[in-house]
Structure 1
Amino acid sequence: MFVIPPGATAGGILDFWERPITDTGQTGPDKGKGGKYLILGPNDPDMHPEGYYVFRSSTNNVWSGQRALDPDPAKVKEVIAGFNIYPYSQRDNPPPARHVSPEGKKWMAFQPRGMDYWRLLAKTIDSEPVQERDRLMMAMLVPLGIEKGKPFQPDARQTKILTQAVEVGELTARANGYAKRFPGSTVWPGHQWEYSLFLKNTNQELPDRTQLDERASWFYEAVGVTDGMMGKIVGAGQVYLESQKDSTGAWLDGGKQYSLHVPPNAPVAQFWSSTVYDNESRTLIDTGSYPGRSSRDDIVKNADGSVDLYFGPVPPKGKPRSNWIKTLPGKGWFTYFRLYGPTQAYFEKTWVLSDIQPSH
């Protein structure tokens, strides 16, 4: 059971195929008023207790991601304290919420590599029901030593093959995501900005096929998809735009200096943000400083309301340090430009975001 507090939040509860069971918060059934969400497993009996939003998951494992969107830090802290998860059996005496912070400790925010990847895959498969969509893939995994209900104990030959396969598979996923070949993935013709999330719908299915490469592109770079994240709701939800390259078509390099001009009157009902990610781990770039800037930050704006952001390993000379996002020499990077609450100008393409410019 998930308890969603009232307030400006955006999130969802998803199954282990990254398909949304339900949105929560502003784009969910509670519409920002908060509520209790009861998630039933694949084999749980039907129940419809009063006072709950009830949904069924097709997988035993589920997860949830949430954002607190209020500009007031005090309210954000209050909202975060209101999230809770506990078994339905404890509904009459719910345990206190436990919020865990890394507190400066390093932790891994991406999937394991090497044989640890296969061990986690085998463990997950063993804990889930086999659906019709899974059967062919399950058959292909048997020669690799992965079979539901049996221990994963690869021999030396299998271990060598699987170790190499992880490396090749990730490089393939990286090429598929970073150099997209999907028709229509470019946001504005002649520009480098692409749609990060290029799925037609949240269940990732088309009438004649599954969006295999499209879902691989998004889920290699990110986690989760909800109706609110699809960028189709005027004034609510989010839009995810991505740039891997500068205006010349060169890959973004952490050892070089760049600038990004954000035109005035950005098409947002809430705010925009630009966040930098390490292109190897796909996690927030770890420079010891905050890896992004937003229109809510204390940044310097131009007289017309536009903003110039700067990226590079050192602060740009003669430019406001508050508008600078640090990068790392020897590391490639990319940025997500998010629009929170996209307005009509975004959908009509009358507002165009400039490409990232290399500094000379």
Structure 2
Amino acid sequence: MHRLSTSWGLVLALSLSGTSHAEVAKEVVQSLGAPDRIETSIGTLDFQDGAPSAETAQKVFDALDFTRALNVYNNSFRGASALGFHKGFQSIGADYNDVIITSKLLDSKSLFLTGNADTVYYLSVVDLSKGPMVIEQPSDGVGTINDMWFSWIIDVGGPGPDRGMGGSYLIVGPGYDGPLPEGGYFVAHSKTNRILYASRAYLVDNDPKPAVENIKTNLKIYPYAEGGYGTSIAQALTGAVRLGANAKISETTFVEASDLSFNTIPPSDFGFYEWINENVQAEPATSYDVELAGQLAAIGIVKGKEFAPDDRMKKILTDAAAVGQAAGRVLNWRPYSVHPDWAYYPDSMWGSMLWEGGAFFETPPPAFKDGMFKPLPATGARTLDSRTAFYYGYTLDSPGMIMNIPGVGSQYLMGFLDSRGTRMMARRPTR
């Protein structure tokens, strides 16, 4: 039996009192109310004259908490994964602004999402909390700079403004309102106080040594000096900046990561939410969007407050993490029934989720013809599944990763199933 609550009945009566020739259909009235009992995926919901019972209220609150926890897992996995870089680097002795390098390449001892074993990596977590930082990018590199939510800041090397020739990048953190140079740097701004600098160099005749020598000779990371290099006398005469000395370039500390065992991947249990809380506490509240902030706050993760879920909430969070990691796996292994446009061609087992919404998960990447890009109109809608799939399996984001441009771009294809739809897996040797 459908019943309207007392307040609904009063509103309906008042709205109909002045109409003598119109009558709301019975089906419409029934659609506005609630039956005494509803069978749903979260159990039986009971109402009396439209008012929920205490048991029904608890079931709904549990469902809301689970839904928000699942949203947090899928929508903020990128933040936990970015933090994973920092934690992993710290575990092998790398401090802020130190550079992790794989002089002897990577192997399976270290746990990375999409780490390649045939390229020299050089990576750093750079601290902007004390002011802008300069990164002198070596030549012949390919890389990007992201914030602590894996939001793209600027590319470096081949896809960046230095176009592989090397150059000085000035990265400005949140809240900085001091003077900036008028030239000499590629300037970019971050919403977080820490940034992830990630670049790589290719082997020369199958030998990593030339690349390693170039990196160690030319890569520098140091604080920017206001009023020094990049500031002209003419700029100082305007009163916008005080002339100063050039920056003191400190010696770069390199930490060898080849042959080491360390982890950079977030957990897929309750610990995931502890990682996200750690990232939230370390960065400005304005570094992520208000919608995600609302989802985080709904499960108890708020900037400046202790994250202390009770036993009930811990159980819900653990369950949501399990479903969230399942979603990430499903969207990587078996996405094409729901997202056929991710496939390289019809019935292909190879594809890329980035073709749906591009690097920013909103509009597909532009067409490239006759040496020119032709951007597509913005869709105005976030491609949530492609974002979930990408950040669950991969790290760092860059527009340069989705364009097959000769000599510059790179276009990744992912495949987890063979031509028959059977999962491809590596077997461990038996003893």
The verdict on a shared fold, with TM-score over 0.5 as the criterion, is yes
Q: Does 1:43 align with 2:175?
A: yes
* 1:221 CA displacement: 0.9
What is the identity, as a one-letter code, of the residue corresponding to 1:87? P
**Residue in 2 aligned with 1:85?**
221
Where 1:122 maps in the other structure, the secondary structure is: helix
Provide closer, same or farther for how the CA distance between residues 61 and 212 of structure 1 changes in structure 2, counting only shifts above 3 A.
farther
* 1:87 CA displacement: 2.8
Deviates more, 1:58-67 or 1:34-43: 58-67
Match of 2:186 among 37, 53, 62: 53
Percentage of pairs with the same residue: 31
Match of 2:299 among 134, 144, 151: 144
What is the identity, as a one-letter code, of the residue corresponding to 1:36? S
In structure 2, list runs of 5 or more residues that go unmatched. 1-132, 227-245, 364-378
1:139-181 CA-partner distances (Å, limit 9, x unpaired): 3333422112101122222222222221221111111222123
**Residue in 2 aligned with 1:244?**
416
What is the identity, as a one-letter code, of the residue corresponding to 1:61? R
Question: 1: CA distance between counterparts of 2:298 and 2:346?
Answer: 46
Runs of 4+ residues over 6 Å off in structure 1:
none
Question: 2: CA distance between counterparts of 1:92 and 1:16?
Answer: 26
CA RMSD of aligned residues (A): 2.5
Question: 1: CA distance between counterparts of 2:387 and 2:179?
Answer: 32
Provide closer, same or farther for how the CA distance between residues 47 and 178 of structure 1 changes in structure 2, counting only shifts above 3 A.
farther
* 1:76 CA displacement: 0.9
State whether residues 342 and 356 of structure 2, in contact with CA within 8 Å, keep that contact through their aligned partners in structure 1. Answer: no
1:232-255 CA-partner distances (Å, limit 9, x unpaired): 423312111111011211001323
**Residue in 1 aligned with 2:350?**
193
TM-score normalised per structure 2: 0.55
Match of 1:110 among 265, 279, 296: 265
Provide closer, same or farther for how the CA distance between residues 2 and 214 of structure 1 changes in structure 2, counting only shifts above 3 A.
farther
**Residue in 1 aligned with 2:111?**
none
In structure 1, list runs of 5 or more residues that go unmatched. 256-327, 331-360
Question: 2: CA distance between counterparts of 1:104 and 1:173?
Answer: 29
Where 1:63 maps in the other structure, the secondary structure is: strand
User: Which one has a bigger Cα radius of gyration?
Assistant: 2
Question: 2: CA distance between counterparts of 1:132 and 1:29?
Answer: 25
Question: 1: CA distance between counterparts of 2:188 and 2:251?
Answer: 23
TM-score normalised per structure 1: 0.65
Count of aligned pairs between the two proteins: 258
Where 1:173 maps in the other structure, the secondary structure is: helix
State whether residues 223 and 247 of structure 2, in contact with CA within 8 Å, keep that contact through their aligned partners in structure 1. Answer: no
Where 1:240 maps in the other structure, the secondary structure is: coil
Where 2:341 maps in the other structure, the secondary structure is: coil
Larger strand share, 1 or 2: 1
* 1:89 CA displacement: 5.0
* 1:83 CA displacement: 2.5
Provide closer, same or farther for how the CA distance between residues 208 and 143 of structure 1 changes in structure 2, counting only shifts above 3 A.
closer
Where 1:137 maps in the other structure, the secondary structure is: helix
Residue pairs, 1:326-337, within 5 angstroms: 328=428
